[in-house]
Homo-oligomer: A and B are copies of this chain.
Amino acid sequence: MSEKYMLHIVIYQKTKPFSTKHNLYIPQLYNTLVQHNTKNMGFTFFLLILTITSVVASPNPFNQIHLLMPHSGSAGHKHSNLDCLSWRLAVETNNLQKWKQVPEECETYIGHYMLGEQYRKDVDLVTEEAYEYAKGLNITKDGKDLWVFDIDETTLSNLPYYASDAVAFGAIPYNATLFNEWVEEAAAPAIPGALKLYKQLIELGFKIVFLTGTEEAYAEARSKNMKDVGYTTWEKIIYKGVSDGSGVVYKQAKRKSLEEVGYRIRGNMGDQWSDLLGTNPGDRTFKVPDPMYYIG
């Protein structure tokens, strides 16, 4: 087995009362490490990089905001030196729209994020907060209080597919044929935080509606997949018809139909802003992370 390591060193520098975190992102060195890797290296190959910058502290705490000052030499080029953390935050806050794929330079970052602990923690905090909100509603249990869940990257994870070389966490353009083959496998795992919330909501007396962009042609595989991983019951599961329009148009129309027949959408959770925007959004919406693709 071949093992490759990189040491990423962050230096905390403590002046009074605060100082700056120097966070060294060094993809070039990472690539160098990968290139120089040899087999059976075990735990013996380390690279340590230290960069230490001194900040002279003055008695005035206002000197601490020096990093608000403009950088010198800014070229004004669009998203030059793209910072992948900033890119992800801008995606999650809907500041970036209609993007086609993950920027090539962020494939590694997004891959690490999705496969690492942080994505999991980010989802869990949102689903926990949703449960706290739902608990506080004290619903009437007349069978009309709904929770609407999206499916892809909200209740089921397509990460096994997105982690494949042919997809590269969204850094390679979307291929509908390949994706639909994956959907037909009915092998997507549940997202643990969403599954836990789903069970809690049913316990509280909510009815569950799954509202998905998955096309009707894949309904059987998808429903099987949902049941297999623990989403065993639902009030409705709504698949997208061929003439249902864009994500946001389709989803708001279906939510409107639900409310017109007397349901109350108390909560609405999705990984895309198009799950949560438009009319009849629900009393409160919850955005779970998804930096891998954009559906408008």
Residues in A lying within 8 Å of B, measured CB to CB:
1-23, 30, 33-34, 37, 43, 50, 52, 54, 56-57, 61-62, 64-65, 67-70, 78-79, 82-83, 85-87, 89-90, 92-97, 111-113, 115-122, 124-126, 128-130, 132, 157, 159-160, 163-165, 187, 189, 191-192, 196, 284-287, 289
A96 to chain B minimum Cβ distance, whole angstroms, is 6
Residue from the list B54, B189, B196 in contact with A68, Cβ < 8 A: B189
Q: Which residues of B contact A116 (CB under 8 A)?
A: 20-23, 67
Min Cβ gap A272→B in Å is 12
If the complex has contacts A9-B9, A95-B287, are A65 and B118 also in contact, measured as CB distance less than 8 A?
Answer: no
Complex Cα spacing A119 to B6, Å: 25
Task: Decide if A18 touches B115 in the complex (CB within 8 Å).
Answer: yes
Tell which of B8, B70, B286, B289 touches A10, judged by Cβ atoms closer than 8 Å.
B8
Distance in angstroms from A230 CB to nearest chain B CB is 11
| CB-based contact B115/A79 at 8 Å | no
Q: A2-B16, A79-B128, A83-B121 are in contact. List 20 more A-B contacts (CB 8 A).
A: A3-B14, A3-B54, A7-B11, A8-B11, A14-B34, A14-B37, A17-B164, A20-B116, A64-B115, A64-B160, A67-B119, A68-B191, A70-B196, A83-B122, A86-B118, A86-B121, A86-B124, A87-B125, A89-B89, A95-B129
Is the CB–CB distance between A8 and B12 below 8 Å? yes
Known contacts A4-B13, A93-B93, A164-B61; is A115 also within 8 Å of B20 by CB?
A: yes
Chain B residues closer than 8 Å to A113, beta-carbon distance: 21
Top 3 nearest A-B pairs by Cβ distance? A4-B14, A6-B12, A8-B10
Check if A65 sits within 8 Å of B9, measured CB to CB.
Answer: no
Tell me the dominant secondary structure on chain A's binding face.
mixed
**Oligomer copy total:** 2
Q: Which of A21, A79, A119, A287 has the most CB of B within 10 A?
A: A21
Contacts of A2 in B (CB 8 A): 15-16, 57
Shortest Cβ distance from residue A136 to the other chain B in the assembled complex, whole angstroms: 11
**Which B residues lie within 8 Å of A90 (CB)?**
122, 125-126, 129
Residues of B within 8 A of A68 (CB): 120, 157, 159, 189, 191-192
Residue numbers in B under 8 Å from A125 (CB-CB): 79, 82-83, 86-87, 89-90, 95
Known: A118-B86, A129-B90. A192 touches B20 (CB 8 A): no
Q: Which residue of B lies closest to A80 (CB)?
A: B128
Return 26 A-B CB contacts under 8 Å, by A number. Answer: A1-B57, A2-B57, A3-B14, A5-B13, A5-B14, A7-B12, A10-B10, A17-B163, A17-B165, A18-B111, A18-B115, A19-B115, A20-B117, A21-B118, A43-B52, A61-B160, A65-B189, A78-B132, A82-B125, A85-B122, A86-B118, A89-B289, A93-B93, A95-B125, A95-B287, A96-B129
